A and B are shown apart, each in its own frame.
Chain A
């Protein structure tokens, strides 16, 4: 076998092991799982492409604010009032009460996973950033 091919095979084996570890370990066991209602809310989040304007943990489009912690900062009633408001660039949605409740549950459970932006992070000398735990 050629040396180059061997390197390729070794890399792919590493990749296999790495993927297994990432798939099984990326969610720390202490973090909550989404409830059925939150999954319904997540579906509405995707079906309406809310992510094109909003971010969780800074990931998403930037036309609207990051809403990782909107639940703990502003509360369910505030979100409820926002959803069908058509405020600013936000499209005018017509969610039912149940749908709004599911979205709020989703946002609440996302909120419980951590902080963003995390102003209490510790920046180390080697360039590493230690994020705070919720």
Chain B
């Protein structure tokens, strides 16, 4: 019998997304009003709750989609393991949120929960990698690129999640600079690994919509796979340009980051072509999401490339420009891909599903997101100006001056939240129907 666990992953992913945006709004309100919800829910609890929700959204919906597609194509070998994986992640997630609510931390940034909880997370990823690779091993070298991406993504995920705990080892324990560098190496490559899963999903969906296009099997697809993989492995160090670690590591990262211009140029070059699908009415919503992705890739890649130049990074590092970059990619790129994937699944499960509201939401979502990102860039630029000002002023004075910007950020954040809800609530309903059906 087919397991329903893939759908459960996606449903939980949407719940995580709603959690993430709720805590995101609380977080922005704490920028506006410093004692908002103090002492119950201080920012050191709110921030990890927001970030964990966002990470879970991306990872769970990618995982659920991958299981679903492997199952649909008759490739998935171990149905039962999917349920075990789901239960492990669900319980761990509940554990993590309980710790945050009680103010129990102990980890490093983005993995603030007590380190012991990484063990069930790693077990879950092992089950995933074992199941995905095991299902695809037969004739692997001839398989399309998205399968390569899922397999490598899952293996590197395990590697970099483990690497994120290297600071616990006796060799590294007392090396503050090395630990800071490695924390960002692990984190950067962790994001590279999830991008393998997410971009693999985008490629899968595109290949299914346009089977004759060569997407996923041609030379170009593999070229970009290897380019992405090299960036995953070697391109993380733009986070640590300004930290006094060994200079060659930073110099090497600068060189690797700049190879991504190839990607940018290629995207612009194939701009029209990439949208040339045989659109049927049912596919329309999926294509709309993916063409939004295309635009967000262009914008975000441009920003990412700029801030990967050390001379520019010098001014943007440590400000909300970095937040604009990370939110731009997780929301603009990853979320539109994952929503395309979910819309594709919902449509497969309920052929008569009405996507009208979802499409309306998407239009307003794109507008709200661009405005939100612009506000973050403005906040970042102001902080940078303050940081490098010749006449230093107090931190509190700078924050006070930025109050209006933060207020606009909160308003636009709420707007963005609304548009996300307009898109995901109907999809959520569609998935629930599929789960029951």
- A interface residue numbers (CB < 8 A to B): 1-2, 4-5, 7-8, 11, 14-15, 18, 22-23, 25-28, 31, 33-35, 39, 42-43, 46-53, 55-66, 88-89, 91-92, 109-110, 113-114, 116-119, 121, 123-124, 127-129, 131, 133-134
20 contacts between A and B (CB under 8 A): A1-B141, A4-B141, A11-B226, A15-B233, A18-B233, A23-B182, A26-B177, A34-B176, A35-B174, A46-B105, A49-B45, A59-B180, A62-B323, A91-B42, A113-B176, A114-B244, A127-B312, A129-B241, A129-B242, A131-B242
Are B233 and A2 in contact, CB atoms less than 8 angstroms apart? no
Are B249 and A52 in contact, CB atoms less than 8 angstroms apart? no
CB distance from B41 to the nearest CB of A (A): 10
Selected from B107, B178, B311, B313, the residue in CB contact (under 8 A) with A26 is B178
CB distance from B254 to the nearest CB of A (A): 7
Q: A26-B246, A52-B43, A110-B176 are in contact. List 13 more A-B contacts (CB 8 A).
A: A2-B142, A7-B226, A11-B230, A26-B177, A26-B178, A46-B108, A53-B44, A55-B318, A63-B30, A66-B318, A117-B387, A128-B251, A131-B244
Q: From A132, which residue of chain B is reached at the shortest CB distance?
A: B244
Are A39 and B34 in contact, CB atoms less than 8 angstroms apart? no
Are A65 and B38 in contact, CB atoms less than 8 angstroms apart? no
**Interface flag for B320 (CB, 8 Å):** yes
Selected from A51, A62, A113, the residue in CB contact (under 8 A) with B320 is A62
* Residues on A with beta carbons closer than 8 Å to the beta carbon of B313: 129
- B interface residue numbers (CB < 8 A to A): 30-31, 34-35, 38-39, 42-45, 47-48, 103, 105-109, 112, 141-142, 148, 152, 166, 173-178, 180-182, 184-185, 222, 226, 229-230, 233-234, 239-246, 248-249, 251, 254, 309-314, 317-320, 323, 383, 387-388, 395-396
Are B108 and A51 in contact, CB atoms less than 8 angstroms apart? yes
* Residues on A with beta carbons closer than 8 Å to the beta carbon of B44: 48-50, 52-53, 91
Task: Sort A-B residue pairs by CB-CB distance and give the 7 closest, nearest first.
Answer: A58-B318, A27-B178, A2-B141, A49-B44, A114-B244, A65-B395, A129-B310
Are B323 and A134 in contact, CB atoms less than 8 angstroms apart? no
Q: In the complex, A42→B103 CA distance in Å? A: 17
Are A59 and B314 in contact, CB atoms less than 8 angstroms apart? no
* Residues on B with beta carbons closer than 8 Å to the beta carbon of A23: 166, 178, 182
CB distance from B305 to the nearest CB of A (A): 11
CB distance from B118 to the nearest CB of A (A): 14
* Residues on A with beta carbons closer than 8 Å to the beta carbon of B239: 59
Known contacts being A47-B105, A66-B318, is A129 close to B181, with CB within 8 Å? Answer: no
CB distance from A111 to the nearest CB of B (A): 11
Are A121 and B109 in contact, CB atoms less than 8 angstroms apart? no
Known contacts being A4-B141, A49-B48, A127-B311, is A25 close to B43, with CB within 8 Å? Answer: no
